[in-house]
């Protein structure tokens, strides 16, 4: 049986706003789950319902098979790290870490042992005597994380814990949190709007939009088998390119190129005759020039961005915009025509009406 079960969870706020619709998910013990989606999609609301900080309007939340909807936060054995972490400014790092255990009346020698162990995991051993003001942002964030993991809890909840850090600190803390998770073994639910954080940290990702779960899957599943255009466009950087066209005699026309969709869909293409379809491909799936077993398209180069190990090329493809990822040695000249191919297996087709993958 799953450790955490969310069954048709809904949140309707007192003002009538329906923030979360029929959220379904199961998490195994020790899993690292990431909720990802744009601002306002209901990630924090769902996390707060799991923490017991927000009532569940409808649906069932089970911990280890027991209905926990009405359990107090304390009974749920959760620890939560928020976006804005508040450390006690007049206490040393040691005392900040020990605070919760002191309140619980834990023995001094047990506290000492746990503080030392937590500090070691987080690389804070040399800072235990310091005051928070004498720490960098990243170190303060580690103390905040430490205050949660020092309590032995089953569920670790994090709401955008890295958003106050600069880009470099975020990358470092990302791997540190993953490592802490591995060492503590606590089931972790982590909220972010950053798809890179989701992809790099998660065992499984829950992609949300407008209060609805769009897809639940491993990073590989949501990247390689996106359920719909939203997931396809949200996961991956730069995002997937989309070209919308009407299907005529099994083909779509992109500039002078005729793209025979039966190569991809076989006889099913007949269902889409006369209808609009969305042709999707990732910037990194593109090969410059013509290729066998591939769809070949051309476009005009509007902008190039050299990034070091690769480059982004912005092209106008028959009035649609697309981004191609190329090696630094392949960057085409501005305003030139570029011919490129997308292997048939790297093309995604979406129903233009439902936006679901075909
Ligand atoms: P962000 O990344 O911006 O925090 P989020 O995905 O975590 O976004 P939530 O904070 O869960 O989103 O909010 C979901 C929706 O519910 C938003 O439209 C928000 O305005 C609304 N909302 C949040 N709290 C309340 C409240 N107390 N009363 C009414 N509506 C609320």
* Total residue count of the chain as it appears in this document: 358
Q: How far is the CA of 238 from the centre of ligand 1 (A)?
A: 27
**Is 73 in contact with 93 (CB distance < 8 Å)?**
no
**Is 106 in contact with 97 (CB distance < 8 Å)?**
no
Query: Does residue 15 line the site of ligand 1, with CB under 6 A?
Result: yes
Distance in angstroms (rounded) separating the CA atoms of residues 324 and 313: 5
Q: How far is the CA of 156 from the centre of ligand 1 (A)?
A: 21
Helix (H, G, I), strand (E, B) or coil at 315: strand
Query: Does residue 21 line the site of ligand 1, with CB under 6 A?
Result: no
**Is 34 in contact with 205 (CB distance < 8 Å)?**
yes
Give the residue whose CA is nearest to atom 7 of ligand 1: 44
Query: Does residue 207 line the site of ligand 1, with CB under 6 A?
Result: no
Give, for all 358 residues of the chain, the pLDDT tens digit. 899 999 999 999 999 999 999 999 999 999 999 999 999 999 999 999 999 999 999 999 999 999 999 999 888 888 888 766 678 889 999 999 998 888 888 899 999 999 998 898 788 999 999 999 999 888 888 898 888 888 777 888 999 888 777 788 788 888 888 888 888 888 999 999 999 999 999 999 999 999 999 999 999 999 999 999 999 999 999 999 999 999 999 999 998 888 999 989 988 999 999 999 999 999 999 999 988 889 999 999 999 999 999 999 999 999 999 999 999 999 999 999 999 999 999 999 999 999 999 9
Distance in angstroms (rounded) separating the CA atoms of residues 21 and 40: 13
Owner of token pair 């746990």: 114
Q: What is the dihedral of CA 163, 166, 172, 176, to 10 degrees?
A: -30
Taking alpha carbons only, the member of 187, 235, 188, 229 closest to residue 207 is 235
Query: Does residue 45 line the site of ligand 1, with CB under 6 A?
Result: yes
**Distances in Å between the alpha carbon of 116 and those of 28, 97, 122, 124, 178?**
29, 10, 10, 9, 20
**Is 349 in contact with 261 (CB distance < 8 Å)?**
yes
Distance in angstroms (rounded) separating the CA atoms of residues 141 and 123: 12
**Is 263 in contact with 312 (CB distance < 8 Å)?**
no
């Amino acid at each position: 049986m799953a450790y955490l079960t969310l069954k048709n969870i809904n949140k309707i706020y007192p003002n009538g706003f329906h923030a979360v619709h029929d959220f379904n998910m199961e998490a195994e013990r020790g899993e690292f789950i990431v909720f990802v989606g744009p601002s306002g999609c209901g990630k924090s609301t769902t996390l707060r319902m799991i923490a017991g900080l927000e009532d569940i309007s409808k649906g069932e939340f089970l911990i280890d098979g027991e209905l926990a909807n009405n359990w107090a936060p304390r009974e749920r054995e959760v620890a939560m790290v928020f976006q804005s972490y508040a450390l006690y400014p007049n206490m040393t790092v040691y005392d900040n870490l020990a605070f919760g255990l002191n309140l619980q009346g834990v023995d001094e020698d047990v506290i000492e042992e746990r503080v030392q162990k937590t500090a070691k995991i987080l690389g804070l051993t040399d800072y235990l005597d310091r005051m928070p003001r004498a720490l960098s942002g990243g170190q303060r964030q580690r103390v905040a994380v430490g205050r949660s993991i020092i309590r032995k809890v089953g569920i670790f909840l994090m709401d955008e814990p890295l958003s106050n850090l600069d880009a470099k600190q975020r990358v470092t803390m990302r791997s540190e949190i993953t490592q802490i998770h591995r060492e503590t073994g606590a089931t972790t639910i982590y909220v972010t709007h950053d798809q890179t954080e989701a992809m790099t940290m998660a065992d499984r990702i829950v992609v949300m939009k407008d209060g609805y779960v769009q897809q639940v899957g491993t990073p590989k599943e949501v990247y390689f088998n996106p359920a719909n255009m939203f997931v396809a466009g949200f996961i991956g950087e730069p995002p997937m390119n989309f070209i919308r066209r009407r299907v005529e005699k099994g083909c779509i026309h992109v500039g002078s190129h005729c793209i025979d969709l039966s190569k991809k869909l076989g006889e099913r293409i007949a269902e889409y005759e006369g209808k609009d379809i969305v042709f999707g491909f990732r910037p990194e799936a593109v090969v410059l020039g013509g290729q066998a077993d591939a769809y070949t398209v051309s476009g005009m180069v509007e902008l190039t961005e050299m990034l070091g190990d690769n480059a982004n090329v912005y092209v106008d493809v028959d009035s649609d915009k697309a981004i191609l990822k190329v090696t630094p040695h392949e960057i085409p000249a501005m305003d030139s025509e570029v011919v490129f191919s997308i292997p048939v297996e790297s093309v995604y087709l979406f129903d233009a009406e439902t936006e679901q993958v075909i």
